[in-house]
Amino acid sequence: MNIKKSILIRVRVAFLFVMLFAVAIGYKISHVQFVEGDEWRRIGEEISFDYKKVKATRGNIYSDNGSLLATSLPFYKVAMDPSQIRDDVFASGIDSLSLLISRFYKDKSALEYKRIIKDARATGKQYIILNRKQINYQAKKEMTSWPIFREGRLRGGVIFEKLDVRYRPFAGLSRRTVGFVNENGQGAGLEYSFNKVLAGQDGEALFQKIVGGTWKPIFDANNIKSIDGLDIVSTIDINLQDVAETSLYRAMAHHQADEGTVVVMEVETGEIKAISNLTRDANGQYSEKFNHAVGGLFEPGSTFKLVTMIALLDDSPVKLSDSIATGKGEQNFYNKTVRDHEEGGLGTITVADAFKHSSNVAMAKLLDQHFGVRPQKFIDHVDRLGLNKPLGLQLTGEAIPKIPRPKDKEWSGITLPWMSHGYGIEISPLQTLTLYNAVANEGRMIRPVFVTSVKKVDQIREEYETEVLTRKICSGKTLTNLKILLEGVVEEGTAKNLKNSHYRIAGKTGTAQILENGKYSKKYITSFVGYFPAHAPRYSAIVLIKNPKGWQQYGNNVAGPVFKEIADNIYARDINLHQAMIKRKVLEEGVFPVIRAGNQQELTMLCNELGVSNHSNTEEDWIRAVRNGNAVNWRTNEIVKGRVPDVTGMTFRDAIYLLEQNGLKVWYEGKGRVASQSLAPGTKISRVRLLVYD
């Protein structure tokens, strides 16, 4: 290096410090030229410095078991500062480097890459982008071993500019719920709703604008380091989410439906374990474009009859055993006609059967009869159930319900009868589910939860607890009747196709005509909402499918099977939902009479009369028989308050007495002695029905 060149380098370094100082006090320096000998050399059209934003790494979104739903992966843009490369390093490595770059990107020959780098070096360029294609961390690691690049940034001139790219390991699964945030700050789902938490705090760093309008980072002591975002833990069960999405997609594709949603909620906590929303495009393909469960408004149809029954049972003399005449399934209200879906009508039926078989006529007549002159009283019930306002979810974009009111100019004599079976009002599917979940949760209505905590690595920064919206949606007596009604729908009503022998489902079907251009069309919104297992609810769910094509148009045969498929999957993989098998203690057949269990005094007297030797080691009233040779020993049949007793082997008389003494309402089939009972002995009693079978 000659003296002249050495002096020039020192002048440039000194000038750089002057420019940095100028930037610090707010000046902008431009049109800078250096002279080398008798030849002027123009370095750039304009050289300026500025502090620019350095993006923080965005936090992760996790499922309930710690699986990643969304994360930020580092990608890199590869650039070079050829002026930094030592002469000997450049000479020995440029051919090999050019060849490796060409083989990696496959867009230019090795000779072209060599010429680009050499020309940039010869003209003094301090920043060139080798290729605009982003590379991942593994590719970056590979490149750092290449000739020249292995010398690093200061001696090899390589620049890896980091870019964070949002990545979803489960691809489109729960895509709308996970959501997004675009460059304009707009978005949806958890990404948008928790953007401030996830985004972190951006930093600042000094950049130099060089030839071609490119900004090159400059190390500076005044740079502000970015603070990475926090992580959020969602309530989503990724396995159940997969089942829910697959079931919904399969049903929608089969019925060629326009829109659909499914939500699965944990009864006690309100945690949303699965949520899927599908919309059909012009090509017949389905994708998550809009969160129908949260932001969609639908006329609920017959699922709203639960609200009607709450008002009637809580605020009128109506009883389930009362009779109501539905005639041939048609009833006029002014200039409009309410119709039942049953051809020929249901005739005169009980109120309970009217609900189970989803009679529109019965609900309309009952509501008009008891609230027609006081419609505001019914609206007060709607308001008390929270259906008149958004739920206040953690997700943004919640729909605002549309509930008509007696003072509205659109209110008329037909408004209330139509409301009785879910017409003329619009609420979100999640609001309907929240109400049914409250029935399953002993009347306690809770706000649905999507995120349980915010954390940094393993340190919890904030936790979100279950919030109670209404402590009791109705009286205890009404609640008991509602459970009987909802179980009856599946056991013997419109949804009996969902009945199974493993566990009991409680719920309600819904089928509502779609309003188009002010008239109700022959298109339908089908739904099923309920909870399971009915005797001790753990999960509630809603399925809504809009405009199914074909001959199946009702909630029981369109939405219902999706509900059951999801419920079956949960039941199969959650052993806590299974009832323990009853261990049977039966005497051997032979000389002994059929003696199983019952009242000790009566069984002792019976054995004595028959000459059967019997001995007792307990003074309890209720006992079980155990054979001991040619004799019978009486053992305690433990009866625990608040727990289901073991009545197998008893006569119906003894079994019914014992069960009702424990506060259970009993239905039985058959005759003789109890062969099996629907609730396992020892199960906690929680206002449920117990079926006793022969």
- Position 654, amino acid: D
23-32, 132-141, 370-379, 410-419: which range is least confident on average?
A: 23-32
20-34, 55-69, 591-605, 662-676: which range is least confident on average?
A: 20-34
Domain co-membership, 569 together with 640? no
Domain co-membership, 131 together with 259? no
Domain co-membership, 113 together with 260? no
33-37, 50-54, 93-97, 560-564: which range is least confident on average?
A: 33-37
- At residue 197 the predicted structure's pLDDT band, cuts being 50, 70 and 90, is very high
Q: What percent of the chain has pLDDT over 90?
A: 52
Give the per-residue pLDDT at 686.
58
Altogether, the residues listed in the chain come to a count of 694
Joined tokens for residue 644: 């289901």
Question: Which class for 36: exposed (0-12), middle (13-18), buried (19 or more C-beta within 10 A)?
Answer: exposed
Question: Rounded to whole angstroms, how far apart are CA atoms 583 and 676?
Answer: 11
Give the per-residue pLDDT at 224.
72
345-359, 487-501, 553-567, 664-678: which range is least confident on average?
A: 664-678
- The model's pLDDT over 573-585, given as tens digits with 9 standing for 90+, comes to 877 776 655 554 4
Q: In this model, does residue 694 exceed pLDDT 50? A: no
Nearest alpha carbon to residue 86 among 140, 142, 153, 35: 153
Give the per-residue pLDDT at 364.
95
Mean pLDDT, residues 265-280 taken together: 95
122-136, 156-170, 186-200, 625-639: which range is least confident on average?
A: 625-639
Give the per-residue pLDDT at 202.
76
Domain co-membership, 74 together with 191? yes
14 in a domain, yes or no? no
**Spatial CB neighbours of 441, under 8 Å, sequence gap ≥ 6:** 267, 268, 537
Q: In this model, does residue 62 exceed pLDDT 90? A: yes
Give the per-residue pLDDT at 625.
76
Range of the domain at 375: 240-577
Phi-psi region of 579 (alpha: psi -120 to 50; beta: other; left: phi over 0): beta
Mean pLDDT, residues 475-501 taken together: 93
Q: What φ, ψ does residue 633 adopt, rounded to 5°?
A: -105, 135
Number of domains the chain contains: 3
Nearest alpha carbon to residue 657 among 666, 670, 668: 666
Domain co-membership, 565 together with 603? no
- Position 259, amino acid: E
Mean pLDDT, residues 524-547 taken together: 94
Q: In this model, does residue 153 exceed pLDDT 70? A: yes
Nearest alpha carbon to residue 320 among 488, 528, 511, 491: 488
85 in a domain, yes or no? yes
Q: In this model, does residue 542 exceed pLDDT 70? A: yes
Q: In this model, does residue 14 exceed pLDDT 60? A: no
Give the per-residue pLDDT at 581.
52
Q: Where are the alpha helices (DSSP H) in 238-356?
A: 238-255, 292-295, 305-315, 351-356
- At residue 55 the predicted structure's pLDDT band, cuts being 50, 70 and 90, is confident
12 in a domain, yes or no? no
Give the per-residue pLDDT at 470.
94
Rg (CA), the chain: 37
Query: What is the DSSP annotation of 521-565?
Result: EEEEEEEEEEEESTTS--EEEEEEEES--SS--STTTTTHHHHHH
Q: Out of 114-128, 131-145, 349-363, 646-660, give the one with best mean pLDDT.
A: 349-363
The residue from 184, 209, 232 where one domain ends is 232
Domain co-membership, 252 together with 228? no
- The model's pLDDT over 529-540, given as tens digits with 9 standing for 90+, comes to 999 999 889 999
219 in a domain, yes or no? no
Joined tokens for residue 418: 């139509």
Q: What φ, ψ does residue 224 adopt, rounded to 5°?
A: -105, 120
44 in a domain, yes or no? no
Mean pLDDT, residues 179-185 taken together: 85
Domain co-membership, 197 together with 346? no
71-75, 303-307, 437-441, 680-684: which range is least confident on average?
A: 680-684
Domain co-membership, 502 together with 631? no
Alpha carbons within 13 angstroms on the beta-carbon side of residue 334 total 8
Give the per-residue pLDDT at 50.
65
Query: What is the DSSP annotation of 58-82?
Result: PPPEE-TTS-EEEEEEEEEEEEE-G
The larger pLDDT score, comparing residue 230 to residue 214, is at 230
Answer positive or negative: Cα dihedral of 189, 193, 197, 202. Answer: positive
Residue-averaged pLDDT of the chain: 84
Q: In this model, does residue 18 exceed pLDDT 80? A: no
- At residue 5 the predicted structure's pLDDT band, cuts being 50, 70 and 90, is very low
Q: In this model, does residue 471 exceed pLDDT 90? A: yes
586 in a domain, yes or no? no
Q: In this model, does residue 313 exceed pLDDT 90? A: yes
Q: In this model, does residue 675 exceed pLDDT 80? A: no
Domain co-membership, 449 together with 538? yes
Beta pairing class for 68-80 and 128-136? antiparallel
Q: What percent of the chain has pLDDT over 70?
A: 85
Domain co-membership, 550 together with 686? no
Beta pairing class for 61-62 and 231-234? parallel
Joined tokens for residue 475: 């009286």
Give the per-residue pLDDT at 43.
41
Give the per-residue pLDDT at 215.
57
- Position 368, amino acid: D
Joined tokens for residue 502: 């493993």
The residue from 232, 254, 289 where one domain ends is 232
Task: Reduce the DSSP state of residue 73 to 3 states and report it.
Answer: strand
The residue from 521, 544, 577 where one domain ends is 577
Nearest alpha carbon to residue 448 among 299, 570, 276, 267: 267
Alpha-carbon dihedral 363, 365, 366, 372, rounded to 10 degrees: 120
Mean pLDDT, residues 184-190 taken together: 89
Domain co-membership, 300 together with 320? yes
| CATH code, 157 | 3.90.1310.10
Question: Rounded to whole angstroms, how far apart are CA atoms 186 and 650?
Answer: 67
268 in a domain, yes or no? yes
Nearest alpha carbon to residue 97 among 164, 146, 130, 54: 146
**Spatial CB neighbours of 684, under 8 Å, sequence gap ≥ 6:** 536, 642, 643, 644
- At residue 369 the predicted structure's pLDDT band, cuts being 50, 70 and 90, is very high
469 in a domain, yes or no? yes
The owner of tokens 């039985």 is 668
Mean pLDDT, residues 391-402 taken together: 95
Question: Rounded to whole angstroms, how far apart are CA atoms 452 and 326?
Answer: 48
| CATH code, 516 | 3.40.710.10
Question: Rounded to whole angstroms, how far apart are CA atoms 508 and 515?
Answer: 22
Joined tokens for residue 568: 């079956």
- At residue 399 the predicted structure's pLDDT band, cuts being 50, 70 and 90, is very high
- At residue 546 the predicted structure's pLDDT band, cuts being 50, 70 and 90, is very high
Domain co-membership, 377 together with 322? yes
21-30, 328-337, 646-655: which range is least confident on average?
A: 21-30
